[in-house]
Structure 1
Amino acid sequence: MKAGSKFLNAVSAFALSAGVVVSGASVAVLASPFTAEAAVIQRIDVRGAQRTGQEAVRSNLTIRPGVSFSNADIDESVKRLYATGYFSDVKISVSGSTLVVSVNESQLVNQVVFNGNRKIKDDKLQSVVQTQPLGPYSEAIIQADIQRLKEAYTSIGRSDVQITTQVAPVGQGRVNLAFVINEGDRTKISNINFVGNQAYSDSRLHDVLITKESGPLSFLTRKDVFSEDKMRADEEALRQFYFSHGYPDFRVVSADPVLDESKNEYTITFTVEEGPRYRFGDINVESTVEGVSGESLRGLVETKSGDTYNAKEIQKTMEAISKKVAEAGYPFARVTPRGDRNFQTNTVGVTYLVDQGERAYVERIEIRGNTRTRDYVIRREFDLSEGDAFNQTMITRAKRRLEALGYFAKVNISTQQGSAPDRVVIVVDVEDQSTGSFGIGAGYAGNDGLVLEASVEEKNFLGRGQYIRVAAGGGQDDSRTYSLNFTEPYFLGYRLAAGFDVFKSQTSSNNNYKYEEQGFSLRVTAPITEQLATTFKYNYKQIQYSPDGAFSNLSAPYQDLVNGGKYLQSSVSQTLTYNSLDSLTLPREGIYATVTQEYAGLGGDSDFYKIYGRARYFHLLSDELDMIGQIAVGAGHVVATGDNLNVFDQFTLGGRQIRGFKSDGIGPRMPNGDTIGGTTYFTASAEVSVPMPAVPEDFGLRASVFADAGSLYGNKVTNTAGILGTDNSLRASVGAGITWASPFGALRFDYAVPVAKEDFDKEQRFRFSMANQF
């Protein structure tokens, strides 16, 4: 490196000659024994920036004419120019009073294409890579893009994907870039093992996990896709399971995924430490909040002495107390559970401490990671907003609500210090997941025989949190069904679920007539508590009869309706729903009950008042065997508010309530077999189910045994001479069934034998249907 005399004149800070040349991202300095602190140049000469332009280069320099600079400024300028990605080489030198910046421009990317991809579309891959058309061609960025693409394929279960690149020059310093993708086979999960579990079997713990072992239908469910995030979620699911079943000392010692590259399969091993099982000891509530006594809050306590320790019940109690105290005018109140563990009796006493807490306000709610779901859909699950008093219990409740929506693969809520000591920033990190589904279902519905149905369902329509479902089906004897369902969960910005249902169906009966039904309903559901809700509904139905075959065989009630043409039913109804189930898909504990009252007489041909309901109680009989018991009871009664009831104003009863009989196969009917329904019914059922023996639990097969009983009686329809079965004689059946949680929905196969029946009842021992419990 040679020192120039002009440079000695320009830089008075150098005692002897010095030269500076910067090439690449490093700075090389040759100087005299005297220290060089600063220099000044009068102009900047840019060379080689043909496409980029000289001004673009100058704007990335920290050095300005007439302003002193140092070696650190030169180094920073070089780094900035490289960081743009538009230059493959950068050199900075000083010649006299001129700063010379020489650059070699990188090639520009003319076009980015993807070849060989079938499982992930081009637009999604394009959003993953940083290399973009008209951007710089950078080997470092491209290698990082390849890694991002591999991670995208790993997230859908293809860890052995191979990605290379091809570059084609197109002139004028531009190139076309192609990512060549060999997607490979799906990476499976061959085994999920547990070490250290004594209280629960491997199969029971498998049911807790989100991740499942690969099976014949895994390509549909996609539950066997490995990811670190899912494994962390599985660890948390295991913790919550044990904490809610009496094991507060439980911990996951380790979770080890091992990939066998030769087989392209993962083996995941969870090592756990269960600890002893505990029950609740003494339960107390203490309050330091003026005007709020602990005794006044005891009625809100969910945890009971002697019950198995359950962390969920503790959380519910904290939320209930916090809400009550906030309503009393103390929004900053804090509820803290204090445990008193007795190792000799294996009990945990819990004291809920209620104090004022520190005054803090929500400065803002920051939402991150939602690429599809709108921000307001997430915000509305919070019972607080910007400016409100900060309450940790409400944050926990919002997290539970967001997880229950099913829109997100993960939900994490954290807090950060705001702009002042009493200001808190709530940070919500979410990851959107697929919420749409296409289903093909099959069932057996009485006289219609085999019925097929196809449906398209979206739980988060356009990211707005709306639910929409379109379905069409058909079966034997020209049976057809069509339906459209839509629900807006927050109508007019309130926690009101408003929606509508439109339907049309066509069936035939005994070759006597065709039955067509079409109509709609408008509904709105309002929560009363976390577990109790009420639904108001308007229903409109139009029924049309037309001759089909031996028209003269019609019994009098049907003959009258045919002669009358269309039959209209206009009604309003109100339903109370209580739901304390731990799961809607496979409940093990809790109650689901509904009571509906309906009044018809708002125009149309019907005038009646109905009240009916059903309750189901679930209880886990054996943790080890995952044996679930359930008891269901139902009843209903209808009275005429006009002169008489019409034939289809009354209740019908059959195989859905008492298995072993056809649909509408029980109760009053005409001598020719036409059912006319009844005014009163009651039903009862008991069932026990366990996972299918010798079948992996991940298959979702459960076997059950059951007993059903009930009766339908009474009649207020005119023209019913010779009617049979108006008394309340009992019908009953026993049987066994198999339920399959298939990718198309829960399918149920039942075989029941009637043990109490009337001669005119219609039997159907085998029943195959979509298992719709609620």
Structure 2
Amino acid sequence: MKAGSKFLNAVSAVALSASVVAPGAGVVLLASTQSAEAAVVRNIAVRGAQRAGEEAVRSNLTIRPGVSFSNSDVDESVRRLYATGYFSDVKIAVSGGTLVVTVSEAQLVNTVVFNGNRKITDEKLQAAVQTQPLGPYTETMVNADIERLRQAYSAIGRSDVQITTQVVPVGQGRVNLAFVINEGDRTKIADIDFVGNQAYGDSRLKAVILTKESGPLSFLTRKDVYSEDKLRADEDALRQFYYNHGYPDFRVISSNAVLDEANNKYNITFTVEEGQRYQYGPIGVESTVDGISGQDLQGLVQTREGATYDAREVQKTMEAISRRVASAGYPFARVTPRGDRNLQNGTIGVTYLVDQGERAYVERIEVRGNTRTRDYVIRREFDFSEGDAFNQEMISRAKRRLEALGYFTKVNISTSQGSSPDRVVVIVDVEDQATGSFGIGAGYSPGSSGNGFLLEASVEEKNFLGRGQFIRVAVGGGLEDARTYNISFTEPYFLGYRLAAGFDLFKNRTSSNDYYDYDEQGVTLRVTAPITEDLATTFRYTYKQIEYGNDGAYGADNLPFTADDNLSYPYISMVDKGEFVQSSISQTLTYNTLDSTTLAREGIYATFTHEYAGLGGDSDFYKISARARYFHTLSTEADLIGSIAIGAGHVFSTGDRLRVFDQFTLGGRQVRGFENDGIGPRTVDHGDPLGGTTYFTASAEMTMPMPAIPEDFGLRAAVFADAGTLYGNKVDLGTSTAQGTDMTWRASVGAGIMWASPFGNIRFDYAHPVVKEDFDETQEFRFSMANQF
């Protein structure tokens, strides 16, 4: 008998079994459900609850001895008992002053097993179902579990999975339950087509959406898994792409996925209407807020007349105006953009309308879908909390922050009506993604003074234990005596404030085959505070212990003299050999407007750092350095991305002189084609690097999709040209002399391949120095890989 039928029978039993007798006959009367008269019982008797226990039954009743009740209380009690899942039948009747509750206990699950599954582990399937050992067995729950298992398999592209069950009684009201799974073949995506697109080709649009066509490595990427939710997300991605590139009238007319059952493959078609491309027309701001005029807000506008329409600029302008008006004492202010299209000349004027807005408050913030990230990590990205004024622009800002964290594959923020008209419930739906990565970097340094093959391996986690903390461990080394060890930790919200505090522990060793060894170990303490959405400042304190000496051919054991002889080494005075302490403080300003942290197409990333060493220790200097890189899409259709970068730095002594490790070094990290310390002043007699007091760098690069390879494969080519110079020397060389201290530029050209592969982001560069000095150290090949896990 179905649970619903049993429920109706139980209610009917109460209504129909009541009999009308004379008062005082010892039976409490219950009329039909229509009359719903109240009644009272003196005690409650429970029958049939052998495993559950009588008290468990009583606790689910809304009826209490000595308290009047009606048929609605009987209905609710029956519902509650069925809802526990432990009873297959429930009857409630009244006899004299006693309420008699008769139950039939459902079977209990002894064991839950999964047979036939290979693609999903037992542990993951067990977490997906609600039927658990020692829990009740009901057909309704098992059917719901089958549907959950189907969804789990659909998420990995196996929509044709077949699931049945086997139930084996084992006595004493217990059963063993087995889910028998035929996983079937993986459902793939054969083709993704676009209809109606004129401005951008299919290959460019395929790179925008999340869903990808099946390929040789799809079994690793799982990007060819079809789902309705992903299709909706693809529609939104297409809208944002067109809105941000001058097409505010863009529409997705339809998106259809048709399954070819013979091949078990989907064919997906997006039908779109691009509309006209617009440039900005006249831009204005109108305000009805007392004391704030449109002219006062005009300086916050980021949209400029004549530029291509970009929805991101409109959104940022709205947020900037909203913040300014809110800071003036109007937290409910509303900013609405009004577009004025001119179809003849293809312009769209934008007027930002600012008014008081309706008074509304945040009743609560609901976070859903996060299986790993803690709720508070998500909540702290909002500039408001429960009880604060509701502002739509703050919602947009919080969404952008959550997406920028890199913790989620999906972030959706919606609102619903609260408990009263002026209350708003903010609903945050997210989907966690892998935030750990394993990286490998490699290079080769030829020559007698190089370290040969160089390798670095690193493990990092951006969302440690779901707390939003960053941790990184890296180890590197070469065939020669070169070793690096680094541990970094960052708490992004230190003491509950938007301050990213952390530390770095490091120990590094480098060696020249000819002469010197350099060992350093120390710690850096740092804290970063945001100034604006795009600008942040970082303060650091660094303490280093440095050992600078020579254990090679000219090491102390091989010298014909000792330190007591007061003689000089070939290029280091006796003062520079030994152990030193460097204690410094620094500040860095960082300006970041990049549109993506993985593949930037637009924006600027710039840093300015100044450092002072002299807080105790053996180093006394002041350093200034800066670097900026600008990205710009040269062709949206061809997805050509250009970037230029410049850098500079200078150091001068605030004491007697500089030491070798106080000066700048320059090499392959800034000018590809050279060893890490391969550029700049060196000793004449042994060719060991001295560093320099001043450097300048410049670089230009263009990346593009690899020809004849689908863009959604993630393979891109790069061509670049680098240039740089490092000169000047303030190190006491003793009896030796330096070469390369003048301002001589080096340059290189090269090409690279970048692959956003299933194994991680892989990059291989080949650079050929076209301008160099004879004493420079070169490194033409570089390889790096970072893998998410």
What residue is the counterpart of 2:637 in the other structure?
624
Q: 2:463 aligns with which of 448, 460, 463?
A: 460
CA distance in 1, matches of 2:118, 2:478: 36
- 2:657 aligned with 1:644: yes
User: 756-765 vs 38-47, which deviates more?
Assistant: 38-47
After the TM superposition, which residues 478-517 of structure 1 pair with which residues of structure 2 at under 5 Å, given as runs?
478-517=481-520
Q: Is the 8 A contact 1:445 1:769 kept in 2?
A: no
User: 179-188 vs 503-512, which deviates more?
Assistant: 179-188
What residue is the counterpart of 2:349 in the other structure?
349
CA distance in 1, matches of 2:68, 2:553: 107
Q: CA offsets, 1:639-691, max 9 Å, x none?
A: 11111111121112222222222222222111222111111111111222211
Q: Is the 8 A contact 1:655 1:661 kept in 2?
A: yes
* 1:584 CA drift (Å): 1.9
- 3-state DSSP class of the match of 2:317? helix
Q: Is the 8 A contact 1:10 1:39 kept in 2?
A: no
* 1:121 CA drift (Å): 4.8
TM-score by length of 2: 0.86
Q: Is the 8 A contact 1:739 1:771 kept in 2?
A: no
Q: Is the 8 A contact 1:581 1:591 kept in 2?
A: yes
- 2:306 aligned with 1:291: no
What residue is the counterpart of 1:391 in the other structure?
391
- 3-state DSSP class of the match of 2:325? helix
What residue is the counterpart of 1:698 in the other structure?
712
User: 179-188 vs 343-352, which deviates more?
Assistant: 179-188
What residue is the counterpart of 1:234 in the other structure?
234
The number of residues matched between the two structures is: 749
CA distance in 2, matches of 1:356, 1:36: 54
Pair 657,63 (structure 1): closer, same or farther in 2 beyond 3 Å: closer
After the TM superposition, which residues 338-377 of structure 1 pair with which residues of structure 2 at under 5 Å, given as runs?
338-377=338-377
AA aligned to 1:151 is: Q
Pair 556,271 (structure 1): closer, same or farther in 2 beyond 3 Å: farther
AA aligned to 2:707 is: P
What residue is the counterpart of 1:585 in the other structure?
598
* 1:591 CA drift (Å): 1.0
- 2:782 aligned with 1:767: yes
- 2:544 aligned with 1:541: yes
What residue is the counterpart of 1:676 in the other structure?
690
* 1:83 CA drift (Å): 4.2
Q: 1:11 aligns with which of 20, 29, 37?
A: 20
AA aligned to 2:487 is: L
* 1:637 CA drift (Å): 0.8
Q: CA offsets, 1:680-708, max 9 Å, x none?
A: 11111122221111122223221122222
Q: 1:524 aligns with which of 524, 527, 532?
A: 527
CA distance in 1, matches of 2:354, 2:160: 54
- 3-state DSSP class of the match of 1:152? helix
CA distance in 2, matches of 1:208, 1:640: 52
- 3-state DSSP class of the match of 1:551? coil
Structure 1 unaligned residues grouped into runs of 5+: 1-6, 14-26, 30-34
Pair 432,705 (structure 1): closer, same or farther in 2 beyond 3 Å: closer
After the TM superposition, which residues 316-327 of structure 1 pair with which residues of structure 2 at under 5 Å, given as runs?
316-327=316-327
User: 634-643 vs 109-118, which deviates more?
Assistant: 109-118
Q: CA offsets, 1:127-161, max 9 Å, x none?
A: 32221222221122112111112212322444344
Q: Is the 8 A contact 2:192 2:269 kept in 1?
A: yes
What residue is the counterpart of 1:4 in the other structure?
none
Q: Is the 8 A contact 2:506 2:522 kept in 1?
A: yes
Structure 2 unaligned residues grouped into runs of 5+: 1-15, 23-31, 560-567
Q: 1:660 aligns with which of 658, 673, 681?
A: 673
CA distance in 1, matches of 2:670, 2:64: 86
Pair 758,442 (structure 1): closer, same or farther in 2 beyond 3 Å: closer
CA distance in 1, matches of 2:166, 2:408: 37
CA distance in 1, matches of 2:181, 2:575: 66
- 3-state DSSP class of the match of 1:578? strand
* 1:609 CA drift (Å): 0.9
- 3-state DSSP class of the match of 2:682? coil
AA aligned to 1:689 is: T
What residue is the counterpart of 1:724 in the other structure?
739
Q: Is the 8 A contact 1:557 1:718 kept in 2?
A: no
Pair 114,605 (structure 1): closer, same or farther in 2 beyond 3 Å: farther
After the TM superposition, which residues 127-526 of structure 1 pair with which residues of structure 2 at under 5 Å, given as runs?
127-183=127-183, 186-444=186-444, 447-526=450-529
Q: 1:736 aligns with which of 751, 755, 761?
A: 751
Q: Is the 8 A contact 1:558 1:647 kept in 2?
A: no
Q: Is the 8 A contact 2:705 2:716 kept in 1?
A: yes
Pair 348,154 (structure 1): closer, same or farther in 2 beyond 3 Å: same
Q: Is the 8 A contact 1:10 1:96 kept in 2?
A: no
CA distance in 2, matches of 1:178, 1:240: 46
- 3-state DSSP class of the match of 1:254? strand
After the TM superposition, which residues 67-82 of structure 1 pair with which residues of structure 2 at under 5 Å, given as runs?
82=82
CA distance in 2, matches of 1:531, 1:367: 27
Pair 424,95 (structure 1): closer, same or farther in 2 beyond 3 Å: closer
* 1:183 CA drift (Å): 4.6
Q: Is the 8 A contact 1:278 1:348 kept in 2?
A: yes
AA aligned to 2:456 is: E
AA aligned to 1:694 is: A
CA distance in 1, matches of 2:80, 2:397: 47
What residue is the counterpart of 1:21 in the other structure?
none
CA distance in 1, matches of 2:649, 2:17: 105
User: 655-664 vs 208-217, which deviates more?
Assistant: 208-217
CA distance in 2, matches of 1:80, 1:612: 70
Q: CA offsets, 1:602-655, max 9 Å, x none?
A: 222211111111111111111111011111111111111111111121112222
* 1:315 CA drift (Å): 0.6
* 1:512 CA drift (Å): 3.3
* 1:474 CA drift (Å): 3.2
Q: CA offsets, 1:192-234, max 9 Å, x none?
A: 3322221112222222223333444444444334333222222
Residue identity (%): 75
* 1:322 CA drift (Å): 0.9
CA distance in 1, matches of 2:509, 2:39: 91
CA distance in 2, matches of 1:712, 1:37: 94
* 1:726 CA drift (Å): 1.4
- 2:703 aligned with 1:689: yes
* 1:527 CA drift (Å): 0.8
CA distance in 1, matches of 2:733, 2:36: 113
- 3-state DSSP class of the match of 1:566? strand
* 1:120 CA drift (Å): 4.4
CA distance in 2, matches of 1:534, 1:102: 71
- 3-state DSSP class of the match of 2:473? strand
Q: Is the 8 A contact 2:573 2:732 kept in 1?
A: no
* 1:260 CA drift (Å): 4.1
Pair 716,371 (structure 1): closer, same or farther in 2 beyond 3 Å: same
**CA RMSD between the two structures:** 3.5
AA aligned to 1:704 is: A
